[in-house]
Amino acid sequence: MLESALSARSHLTQTPDTVEQTVDVRPELRTALLPLGELGRIRQYLGEVGSLAETLNDGARLARTSIFQL
């Protein structure tokens, strides 16, 4: 379901609000994928956060999400 949310977001116009939501769903994905041992997918999703947070100039989001990186 969370991956579907990311997919749906990719079809929307990139506004600060949609980018924020795209960033915010990634830690939730990590929480869901970690018990499944999906480390590669976790790294992929969290790796995308850096550039997204930079477009927002949002150091707090970047720092918060970086905590979850493996």
DSSP string, 14-68: --HHHHHHHHHHHHHHHHHHGGGT-HHHHHHHHHTHHHHHHHHT-HHHHHHHHTT
Position 70 confidence tier, pLDDT thresholds 50, 70, 90: low
* Residues 46, 61 contacting (CB under 8 angstroms): no
Q: What is the pLDDT of residue 37?
A: 95
Residue 35 inside a domain? The answer is yes
Residue 17 inside a domain? The answer is no
* Residues 56, 23 contacting (CB under 8 angstroms): yes
Q: What is the pLDDT of residue 60?
A: 86
Residue 59 inside a domain? The answer is yes
pLDDT digits (tens, 9 = 90+) for 25-60: 888 888 899 999 999 998 888 888 777 888 888 888
Residue 9 inside a domain? The answer is no
Query: Domain tally for the chain?
Result: 1
Residue 54 lies in domain: 24-70
pTM for this entry: 0.73
